[in-house]
Structure 1
């Protein structure tokens, strides 16, 4: 998924650059390029989120973790992961309902290009499902670590 995200980001940069050149030098309107770049950015953002979570690369506040004892910090991480899992599972579910609605009703954007809306909803749904799975794995690992530390203590 990381490679797809990188390709989507590159495609978005190329699309926006060509839009600037086309509008500035050729004085032509380009209504499709804005939506295409947004679709690419949605894909890059959501498809890479599980990988970023796997390396714990999301922005976090580390001031608290340095002050807490190791065991309390493990509990804090487990609680945060569980809360994130609940949110991401709900987000994935709602994204899937939007995907189904857009697919079954044939929804498109309101521009003259009118690409189907199921494309960004599919990217959102897939990305959030992957993120929820990653968070579920991290919750299982955290629970296992907490159980092992209780057995040692």
Structure 2
């Protein structure tokens, strides 16, 4: 189990790195677009679409990393009043429900990606990028997020991880 958990954590960290690269590339393309348009008075054809799809890709591919770091928004009012066993049960239930939702999104995303691939759908713009290349971030991100949820559930069940760890003020300020 330790090998699986470490492998999934490595995949999630890789997703965080890929999301960061996509964000940085989007920023650089925005700079290119501004300079091209307002300094050299050139038209831009592909930059806006690239930024939109790279930010969407960064969002979906970055999800497993955010889950690994426990960065998703959650309300900790109920866990605050529960004992350890109650927190553990609540964390497992929430993780299983999230796993089920992520699995549904993964299946639907695979269907959308496959349809775009088989029918060779494109953006229909001047850039005319193939949509399957742009949609692939959804199944990849959600598949790795499913693995991360499985690793989290295993960690909770085997008590390798605390459910709803208490937030420290010093860590919140950093």
Under TM normalisation by the shorter chain, which class is it?
0.7 to 0.9
- Alignment of structure 1 residues 98-117 onto 2, 5 Å: 98-117=112-131
Q: Return 21-30 or 1-10, whichever deviates more.
A: 21-30
Unaligned runs of 5+ in 1: 146-153
Q: In the alignment, which of 59, 64, 70 is matched to residue 56 of structure 1?
A: 70
CA distance in 2, matches of 1:64, 1:82: 18
Number of the residue aligned with 2:150: 136
CA distance in 1, matches of 2:144, 2:91: 19
Select the residue among 20, 24, 45 that pairs with 2:38.
Answer: 24
After superposition, give the CA deviation of every residue in 1:43-85 in whole Å (9 maximum; x if it has no partner): 2212221121112111111232222222111111111111110
Q: 2 CA distance for matches of 1:124 and 1:25? A: 36
Map of 2:101 onto structure 1: 87
Greater helix share, structure number: 1
Identify the residue that residue 149 of structure 1 maps to in structure 2: none
- TM-score, structure 2 as length reference: 0.77
Q: Distance in 1 between matches of 2:41 and 2:107?
A: 43
1:74 aligns with 2:88: yes
How far is 1:10 from its partner?
Answer: 0.4
CA distance in 2, matches of 1:64, 1:28: 56
* Whole-angstrom CA distance in 2 between matches of 1:69 and 1:15: 50
C-alpha displacement of 1:135: 0.6
Q: Gaps (5+ residues) in structure 2? A: 1-13, 160-174
Q: Return the TM-score normalized by structure 1.
A: 0.87
